[in-house]
Amino acid sequence: MTHYIHNINPIVFEIGGPLAIRWYGLSYLLGFVASIFLLRHWSRRGEFDVPEKEVSNFVVLLAFFGVFIGGRLGYVLLYGFGTFLSDPMYAFRVWEGGMASHGGFVGVILCILWYARKHKHSFWNLTDQMAATTSLGLAFGRLANFINGELWGRVSDVKWAVIFPQQLGMHYGHYSQPEIEALVETGRLEARHPSQLYQAFTEGLLVFGIMMLLRNTKWGKQSGALSASYLILYALARISMEFFREPDNTIYFGWLTKGQLYSALMIIGAGVILWKKKLIAQDDWPDI
């Protein structure tokens, strides 16, 4: 066997009965804690409208109504609408998995819009600063996807390709290496790109690093600049990484995935922001 067989326990430790601490939930927690830390720092410096003592409540609000509810509804509507029509309770069975990052983005934006109006904050200040932190949370989330053995990549023979037993519905602790080797030899299991790790780096760490650089430029300090930048950077990263990720059942024109289509719409949205905020034709574009 020349390729790594995915064999990672998704549970950090069991509490008792069905209760357990999972890497997936821990990844969300780490992402939110990182956002709280950065936003509190920026609030102290007067760069973030939300008072420092209110930052934790603000992030928890976005986490529940934006990320979780928005992400779940987004997945149901964008990727599992047919299942939802035949089984409406499917939307509530969150333990079966299914969160859409695009749905989470929409949920967060709507939540920020409500919060900004209620507390009379600048909507663009909130979205700009949140945009600067979001990808760090995505990096943790993609790493958790790899640990769970979900959202695997396309078939590949690269040396670092991974064999995911989850492809056949097998779970950690319920298979042995000889059993997996036999399935590989018969062609039922194939090595695949660890696209979750690619996405953790590009959509997560790389975009986060670029956003931090842009945030310190004259252009990046303008209202709406970081929001538009994030939409473009994330979309480009997602579109490129989709070529390594196993696509969903719906592919347009023989190659365009749903993830790429929704990401293209994000670029259009960014263009509208740049145009409306008059951020395109300027002499002070970021020099990084």
Query: Do 165 and 261 touch, CB atoms closer than 8 A?
Result: no
Q: Give the C-alpha distances (Å, rounded to integers) separating 18 from 15, 21, 179.
A: 8, 10, 28
Domain ranges of the chain: 4-276
Predicted TM-score (pTM) of the model is 0.89
Residue 116 is predicted with a pLDDT of: 95
Q: Which residues of the chain have pLDDT under 50?
A: none
For residue 9, is it left (φ>0), alpha (ψ between -120 and 50) or beta?
beta
Q: What per-residue confidence (pLDDT) applies to 95? A: 59
Q: Among 74, 22, 63, 68, which residue's Cα sits nearest to residue 39?
A: 63
pLDDT at 134: 92
CA distance 150 to 161: 14
Tokens of 238: 């997602």
